[in-house]
Amino acid sequence: MIRSHVLICGGTGCTSSGSAALEKALAAELAANNLSEEIKIVQTGCFGLCALGPIMIVYPEGTFYSRVTTEDIPEIVSEHLLKGRIVDRLVYNKNDDAEGEAHAVHTSLSDTDFYKKQKRVALRNCGVINPENIDEYIARDGYFALAKVLTEMSREDVVQTLLDSGLRGRGGAGFPTGQKWKFAMNGEGQKYVCCNADEGDPGAFMDRSVLEGDPHAVLEAMAIAGYAIGADQGYIYVRAEYPIAVHRLEIALQQAREYGLLGDNILDTGFQFDIQLRLGAGAFVCGEETALMTSIEGKRGEPRPRPPFPAVKGLFQRPTILNNVETYANIPQIILNGPEWFASMGTEKSKGTKVFALGGKITNTGLVEVPMGTTLREIIEEIGGGIPNGKKFKAAQTGGPSGGCIPASLIDTPIDYDNLLEIGSMMGSGGLIVMDEDTCMVDLAKFFLEFTVDESCGKCAPCRIGTVRMLEILNKITEGNGEMEDLDKLEELANYIKSASLCGLGQTAPNPVLSTLRYFRDEYEAHIKEKRCPAGVCKKLLSYNIDPDKCKGCTLCARVCPVGAISGAVKTPHAIDPEKCIKCGACMEKCKFGAIYKK
């Protein structure tokens, strides 16, 4: 008889931290203590709190162990699983009493700062079930929504339910999902359902985590979409760099077919629908819907002019709907709980929840899902745990290379589609990168533009040539050769690229530059007028110096300098030759007396 379940995160983050080794060590230790029949190990998807991985949760107590190592396993087994005594030093979910004594909280993770303001809809099964076991998904009402639409709802009912819910696409500009489905439903002939799992934004891993933790939710939603628009074939376009997600999708597809939930005559209703995987080679442009469909067709992944839109002429020139992973993950719950339930969350024009990949200069890096309208401050200071090392929050980048920067002055902005557009950013797929005072905003804009230049498909001149010209100007500014007229040229180029590029990726490529010019223009001017990088990041504008009053002449800095740029005798102040210095910072890092500074 099973008396305890031990859930171990099997997402990419914890896997890279060694969770697979934990699982093996735990299985061996349980066997050694004759506990294999009493304790069940469950490999799950991402719990969300990636900063504390590998993560292990013991039920029924709900004890949340973080940063577990294989050396901790014998103690967890002997103390907790054998004697019922919590290993306090590994517990994350704990509070402190008046005397500072830590006591484990065994009730709910919702009591913790990271989880208490979250509302998990798309992530409801991630970290809860074994994603490689269809029975566990079914036990959580899996495929009940598909059964409901096939036996109780017309195609029009399904589309109207999505329209009433207010669900907007979670992969970009937020087009109403029900409207997209309605266009495709009214088409004729062969139709297709596509899933965009080609998550290419730097710092984004929302879709990957859903596929790793709850792949059946996406399969079920795509089957519902097939019924709604009259399609019998679906495709999931997923990047090959997601091996765990691909593996679990392959298992889920096989299981769904074996259970009669994909294929012919699903649930004896006469409806047929199947799904195939297509692996992408990592081209960022294939995240754009028409380029993605072109790639599925076996051609070079380049965007096509719109109109006609995919709902009219998409994959193989047939009516097609394309949604991303997170959008699909919401749909079974909307069908089961009703559109009013979903519409009760969020804001007037942005319903439901949104998943964010929280990264950068933040304490609690990981995956969070919050109701639309949650402020940036709540996400960063409460859920994210604030900025580490006592630094100040400077800005947050949403939407990746297509998005913009939100300055600290707008930290109380409620996050939804319209508010982000108003302040010069966008939701995008949901990457949220936090920056502190040590971030150079000019260098950040250059980083995203370098990414866009590398990933441009080159089909249209505004994106292919215009972004290169913008990058040249940014390089000129960060190297101390900028002129004030360059700022006008950047804005002129940016506006031309936005208005003339073929696809959405080219049209949004200038956003990081425009938003940093809007909110951090003083930093651009400091680079140009003063030949100074206020954040001390741009190497060509830096100089390393030694304070003779603080230097003890220990010679450590001279010994670590890779180019011999530091000179001085023992116990006498040293000096740095600016002509030789490559500005690597090794000397400053090693100095024990704080004598080396940069300006």
What is the tens place of the pLDDT at every residue in 219-247? 999 999 999 999 999 999 999 999 999 99
Angle between helices 144-152 and 215-229 (to 10 degrees): 10
Judge contact between 303 and 503, C-beta under 8 A: yes
In angstroms, what CA-CA distances link 63 with 10, 56, 400? 18, 8, 35
Model pLDDT for residues 215-226, shown as the tens digit of each residue:
999 999 999 999
DSSP string, 455-470: H----SHHHHHHHHHH
Which of these, 506, 397, 416, lies nearest to 168 by C-alpha position?
416
Domain annotation covers residue 420 = yes
pLDDT at 96: 38
Domain edge (last residue) among 343, 378, 413: 343
Judge contact between 213 and 46, C-beta under 8 A: yes
Q: Does residue 192 sit in the same domain as residue 312?
A: yes
* Residue 449: domain span: 441-529
Measured distance CA(300)–CA(298) in Å, rounded = 7
The CATH number of whichever domain residue 565 belongs to comes to: 3.30.70.20
Q: How many residues does the chain have?
A: 599
Tokens of 573: 């102040």
pLDDT at 172: 78
Domain annotation covers residue 536 = no
Measured distance CA(330)–CA(342) in Å, rounded = 9
Q: Does residue 428 sit in the same domain as residue 447?
A: no
Domain annotation covers residue 266 = yes
Q: Does residue 107 sit in the same domain as residue 231?
A: no
Measured distance CA(28)–CA(595) in Å, rounded = 53
Domain annotation covers residue 447 = yes
Residues of the chain predicted below pLDDT 70: 93-110
pLDDT at 99: 38
Measured distance CA(585)–CA(560) in Å, rounded = 10
Q: Does residue 167 sit in the same domain as residue 303?
A: yes
Q: Does residue 450 sit in the same domain as residue 360?
A: no
Q: Does residue 170 sit in the same domain as residue 96?
A: no
In angstroms, what CA-CA distances link 453 with 22, 285, 457, 472? 41, 11, 9, 11
Instruction: Count other Cβ atoms within 10 Å, centred on residue 270.
Output: 9
The two beta strands, 575-576 and 566-567, are: antiparallel
Domain annotation covers residue 124 = no
Q: What are phi and psi of 41, to 5 degrees?
A: -95, 130
Q: Does residue 52 sit in the same domain as residue 88?
A: yes
The one-character DSSP state at 55 is -
Burial of 27 (0-12, 13-18, 19+ CB in 10 A): middle
pLDDT at 93: 61
The CATH number of whichever domain residue 143 belongs to comes to: 3.40.50.11540
Number of domains present in the structure of the chain: 5
Q: Does residue 95 sit in the same domain as residue 159?
A: no
pLDDT at 412: 96
The CATH number of whichever domain residue 376 belongs to comes to: 3.10.20.600
Q: Does residue 423 sit in the same domain as residue 464?
A: no
Q: Does residue 172 sit in the same domain as residue 235?
A: yes
Domain edge (last residue) among 504, 529, 554: 529
Q: Is 400 left (phi over 0), alpha (psi -120 to 50) or beta?
A: left
Instruction: Count other Cβ atoms within 10 Å, centred on residue 363.
Output: 17
Q: Does residue 141 sit in the same domain as residue 183?
A: yes
pLDDT at 97: 34
pLDDT at 19: 95
Q: Does residue 184 sit in the same domain as residue 77?
A: no
The CATH number of whichever domain residue 41 belongs to comes to: 3.40.30.10
Domain annotation covers residue 119 = no
Domain edge (last residue) among 478, 507, 529: 529
3-state secondary structure 374-441: CEHHHHHHHHCCCCHHHCCEEEEEECHHHCEEEEHHHCCCECCHHHHHHCCCCCCCCEEEEEECCCCH
The CATH number of whichever domain residue 464 belongs to comes to: 1.20.1440.230
Domain annotation covers residue 537 = no
Domain annotation covers residue 123 = no
